[in-house]
Amino acid sequence: MNEGYDYRERVQPQAGETVLAYLARRYPHSTAETWAERIAAGEVTLDGRLATAAAGVSPGQTLVWSRPPWEEPAVPLAFAVLFRDAHLLAVAKPRGLPTMPAGGFLTHTLLHIVQARFAGAAAMHRLGRGTSGLVLFARTGEARRAVAKAWRTGAVVKRYRALVSGRPSRDAFDVDTPIGLVDHPRLGRVYAAVREGKPSLTHVRVLEARDGQTLIEATIPTGRPHQIRIHLAAAGHPLVGDPLYVSGGLPAPDPVLPGEMGYHLHAHRLLLDHPVTGERLVLECAPPLPLLVKAPPLVAGVTDTSARGS
């Protein structure tokens, strides 16, 4: 059991909205009946006072739901340090461990267990729960600001390994399908390939063809949610075992979602200038076995043995 958590926000209600109506509209993951039970149990306060379901809410008021302690799902609670100095920390996240608190996860997250060992470390990006690999943390305010700026300006290079369905017709290609939110009958709103979405770009390079599958490297100048999964699906090559995204880059209408797992995607390499020294850093996290190159590629008829397992 964790210690519970206070979800706090400044409300922006619709005209004449009550506490109950606001919570039910704003957080539809729980029914109005469930929210009414929480309010009756004294879990919700408005400007520091116990709220009632019928109380009106005004813009700018502080609403807090004090969620009682709960048992979080079991996940691999471990990480490995890949790089560490006084300014930066790079760690290996295992598949299955959420990066940040969300939904039913609070202490069973990479952020929580990293901060328990390295107080004040701030995650500079996140990986999906089913994605393994390198996550970068900043350990000082100076490093955090510098890395955030580098991320915004495209100065950080992010490379991934993935196993996709089928065989692309080209060994190298780009996918620039916009990504945005779409309505879904089961999941509410999810990110997908959509014409009105935000500009997104993924560079894809084939590493190895297999029996009906292909090992690829993806480099992403942009960082939209689920970008690689969506873009490879949009290109007609969804990730092998992806429970959500199908060819075309849209979510399946009735997906099987075993904790957003099943696919093979790994954050393999991160390149950036050190925020203090300016030194060029090449940070790597070794891929899991399914994403290793099994045979050295042939380039212009020459065997490149240095690429094995890279």
Q: In this predicted model, what pLDDT tens digit does every residue of 116-157 receive, in sequence order? A: 999 999 999 999 999 999 999 999 999 999 999 999 999 999
Predicted confidence at residue 186, as pLDDT, reads: 78
Residue 266 vs residues 61, 168, 219, 293: alpha-carbon distances, Å? 42, 19, 12, 13
> Are the C-beta atoms of 55 and 77 separated by less than 8 Å?
no
Residue 181 vs residues 100, 251, 255, 299: alpha-carbon distances, Å? 20, 11, 17, 41
- SS in 3 state form for 12-52? CCCCCCEHHHHHHHHCCCCCHHHHHHHHHCCCEEECCEECC
Other C-beta atoms within 10 Å of 104: how many? Answer: 11
**Cα–Cα distance measured from residue 260 to residue 244, given in angstroms and rounded to the nearest whole number:** 8
**Cα–Cα distance measured from residue 221 to residue 120, given in angstroms and rounded to the nearest whole number:** 27
- Nearest residue to 128 (alpha-carbon basis) of 93, 152, 83: 93
Domains defined along the chain, listed by start: 5-67 (3.10.290.10), 80-291 (3.30.2350.10)
Task: Report helix, strand or coil for 181.
Answer: strand
pLDDT in tens, 24-55: 999 988 999 999 999 999 999 999 999 999 99
Predicted confidence at residue 260, as pLDDT, reads: 60
Q: What share of the chain is helix, strand, coil (3-state, %, to 5)?
A: 15, 35, 50
For the chain, which residues score pLDDT lower than 50? 298-310
Predicted confidence at residue 172, as pLDDT, reads: 98
Other C-beta atoms within 10 Å of 100: how many? Answer: 15
Predicted confidence at residue 199, as pLDDT, reads: 96
Residue 278 vs residues 85, 125, 157, 211, 275: alpha-carbon distances, Å? 14, 20, 15, 44, 6
Output the pTM of the full model. 0.84
Helices 19-26 and 32-40 pack at an angle, to 10 degrees, of: 130
Predicted confidence at residue 166, as pLDDT, reads: 97
Q: How far is CA 187 from the centre of its chain?
A: 17
Predicted confidence at residue 258, as pLDDT, reads: 54
Longest dimension (CA), the chain: 75
